[in-house]
Amino acid sequence: MIQPEVSIIIINYNTFDVTCKCITSIYSNTKEVALEIILVDNASTECDAGEFKKKFPEVTLIKSQVNLGFSKGNNLGVQHSKGHVILLLNSDTELTEDSVSICYKELQLNKEYGVITCKLVYPNQSIQNNCQAFPSVIKLILEKLRIHKLMGRNQTSKYFQGFYWDYSKPGFPDWVWGTFFMFKKEVLLHLTDKKLDEDFFMYVEDMQWCMQIHSAGFKILYTPATKVIHHGGLSGGNAQYNIRTNMNLFIKKNYNPIKYFILKQREKNFHS
């Protein structure tokens, strides 16, 4: 058996048809790298997870008896991975080109690159804002005073990212969504407990991971060289409540008490 270069980890929770479509798109479009797919089923009740093995016998299926959430589920998948590069891929994504190979090759271009993501689009091809900036008191003040309206495109793209990011050009955002999150496995050696932070059950975990990866001296790379369809919003749950709760946790973990007090008042939606 060929040693996989990329281990693709997908978390499934009651999205059998969607997940099957995602897996099919991976096998149909990935041509230039050896891969393995590790599917972690988070105690789904929709159907027997064994149905995945009937449809995709080559997939490594891990059945959790409890819903571990996104972070713990991915760490469980990493434990079973053989590739030296890991791709965390949402089950509600769909590949239409060889995005895995393209991103894998770009990730190898510089030893400082720790993570790479690509352009995410809705089914209608409109851009999703998956490159984001970390919370900042200065940026919050600029927004509140509307000074950012007077800044040029390059400045707003650099400091605020998100909606202002230029998705037609490569760059280094503060953090990126975990939707398509490819990273070198060696990065984990520099993180606490040598794994992805598990304090976030779902949402904002990707921001925390990028904060830690930056602190370890690696760069987060965005490439417009390929795109992936992300349907979004299929995992269920109280998204807005979880985002607000986890944003407060993120700020508390990474900022001093004064900045925490200021930033926790910030009202903004984040998506993963």
Distances (CA, A) of 46 to 12, 14, 143, 165, 210: 10, 5, 44, 38, 33
The token pair at 74 is 């991915």
Domains of the chain as residue ranges with CATH: 6-263 (3.90.550.10)
Kindly report, residue by residue over 78-121, the tens digit of the pLDDT.
Answer: 999 999 999 999 999 999 999 999 999 999 999 999 999 999 99
pTM of the model: 0.92
User: What's the confidence (pLDDT) of residue 269?
Assistant: 37
Q: Can you list the residues of the chain whose pLDDT is less than 50?
A: 267-272
Contact criterion met (CB below 8 Å) for 256 and 113: no
CB atoms inside a 10 Å sphere around CB 38: 24
Whether the Cβ atoms of residue 83 and residue 4 lie closer than 8 Å to each other: yes
φ/ψ (deg, to 5) at 61: -105, 125
Per-residue pLDDT of 209-234, as tens digits, reads: 999 999 999 999 999 999 999 998 65
Q: What is the pLDDT of residue 161?
A: 92
Q: What pLDDT does residue 154 have?
A: 74
> How many Cα atoms sit within 13 Å of 54 on the Cβ side?
6
The 3-state secondary structure of 24-87, one letter per residue: HHHHHHCCCCCEEEEEEEECCCCCCCHHHHHHCCCCEEEEECCCCHHHHHHHHHHHCCCCCEEE
